[in-house]
Amino acid sequence: MWLQPAFILATVALMLAAVALLVSWSMWRHSQRKLEAMSRLMRELTRTRDSYRKQIEELQAANIGLGNKVSDLHRLQGQLSEQQQELALKDPQGRLYSRATRMVQLGADIDEIMAECEMPRAEAELLISLHRK
C-alpha cells in the first residue's frame, strides 16, 4: 500500500512542489535584499545630488556677486582714469615737475633737467637736493 505508484507520484510531486516553493521564496528574499540595497543607494544618491545642487547654487550666487564687484571696479577705474586725465590737463606745470623728478631719480644732471623741463637752475637744484637723498 505504501509503495503504490500513485502514492509515490504524489509524494514526489509534493516534494517537487516544496522544493519549487523553497527556491521561489529564496529568490524572492534575494530580490527583496537587492531592492532594499538599491533603495538605500538611491536615497544616498539623492542626498548627494541635493548637496551638489546646493553647492552649485551657492557658487552661482558668489559668481554673480563677483561679477557685480568687477563691474563696479571697472566703472570706478574708468572714473579714476578720467579724473587723472583732467588733472594732467589742468596742471601742465605739475607734469614738468613730475618729469624732472623722474629724471633726477634716473640720474640726470642739472643741465639736462634745466634743458628738458625748461626750468630755472634754482628749481632744478632744489629738486635734485630733495630727491637724491
Q: List, for residues 13-38, the tens digit of each pLDDT value.
A: 999 999 999 999 999 999 999 999 99
- Tell whether pTM > 0.85: no
The 10s digit of each residue's pLDDT in 86-128 is 776 676 666 677 888 888 898 889 999 889 888 899 988 988 8
Measure the CA–CA gap between 29 and 52, rounded to whole angstroms: 35
Q: Are 119 and 96 in contact (CB under 8 A)?
A: yes
Which residues lie below 8 Å from residue 116, measured CB to CB, with a gap of 6+?
99, 100, 103, 108
What is the pLDDT at residue 92? 62
Q: Are 73 and 103 in contact (CB under 8 A)?
A: no
Please check the confidence at residue 1 and state whether its pLDDT lies above 60.
no
What is the pLDDT at residue 98? 81
What is the pLDDT at residue 47? 97
76 membership: H or E segment, kind and range: helix 5-90
What is the pLDDT at residue 77? 95
Measure the CA–CA gap between 120 and 128, rounded to whole angstroms: 13
Other CB atoms closer than 10 Å to residue 104's CB: what's the count?
Answer: 20
Please check the confidence at residue 131 and state whether its pLDDT lies above 70.
yes
What is the pLDDT at residue 50? 96
What is the pLDDT at residue 94? 66
What is the pLDDT at residue 56? 96
